[in-house]
């Protein structure tokens, strides 16, 4: 699996950009997965539902499954947060994993920046930033893309990670 990070401050448009880049990679034939790092307590479950009640009762893991999807929830119960490498081990094989968050990880990253945010740029202090998605022209030799250029960014990811398209299968 190849990994690319999408980094930037809250409100910069990381999620929207990822939401637009994923279909561009999928249409090229790549299988894409995503890991999103949350800096706060989150819950994908709903209070009162069976799975929520099972976790509240003390279950460490609850796997919910149907004929359309499955989700595994793991309660940390005072354990240390797993590393990115440990989290990657949970994913099924794919061509590329997009990481949202994990600003300090040593993986290639695309920084998302908006001029109106008045936030400092990350690329000057992070050698792992390999490109920028921004709404302003910045003084850097790094490749720069418009913040809405999902196709250009997807093509950059393909080239930068040297992703190989799966062979075309002929249907008999």
pLDDT-derived band of residue 41, with 50, 70 and 90 as boundaries?
A: low
Residue range 105-148, pLDDT digits in tens: 999 999 999 999 889 999 999 999 999 999 999 999 999 999 99
Greatest CA separation for the chain:
57
pLDDT at position 172 is 67
Within 13 Å, how many C-alpha atoms sit on residue 99's CB side?
Answer: 25
Closest residue by Cα to residue 124 from 136, 137, 141: 141
Q: Domain residue spans in the chain?
A: 2-39+81-160
- What whole-number distance in Å separates Cα of residue 84 and Cα of residue 25? 22
What is the distance between the alpha carbons of residues 135 and 57, in angstroms, rounded to a whole number? 48
Higher local confidence (pLDDT), 122 or 38? 122
Examine the pLDDT at 79 and tell me if it is beyond 70.
yes
8-state DSSP, 81: P
**Predicted pLDDT of residue 169:** 66
Query: Does domain 2-39+81-160 correspond to CATH entry 3.40.50.300?
Result: yes
Number of other residues whose CB lies within 10 A of the CB of residue 150? 21
In whole angstroms, what is the distance from residue 52 CA to residue 57 CA?
9
């Amino acid at each position: 699996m190849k990994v690319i990070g999408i980094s930037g401050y809250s409100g910069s448009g990381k999620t929207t950009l990822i939401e637009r880049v994923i279909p561009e990679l999928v249409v090229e034939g790549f299988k894409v997965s995503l890991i999103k790092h949350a800096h706060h307590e989150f819950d994908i479950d709903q209070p009162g539902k069976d799975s929520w009640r099972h976790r509240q009762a003390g279950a460490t893991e609850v796997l919910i499954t149907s004929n359309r999807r499955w989700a595994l929830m793991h309660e940390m119960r005072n354990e240390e947060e797993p590393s990115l490498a440990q989290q990657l081990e949970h994913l099924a094989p794919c061509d590329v994993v997009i990481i949202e968050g994990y600003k300090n990880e040593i993986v290639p990253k695309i920084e998302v920046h908006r001029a109106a945010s008045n936030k400092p740029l990350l690329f000057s202090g992070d050698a792992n930033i390999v490109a920028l998605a921004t709404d302003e022209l910045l003084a850097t030799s790094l490749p720069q893309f418009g913040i809405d250029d999902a196709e250009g960014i997807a093509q950059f990811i393909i080239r930068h990670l040297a992703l190989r398209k799966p062979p075309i299968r002929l249907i008999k």
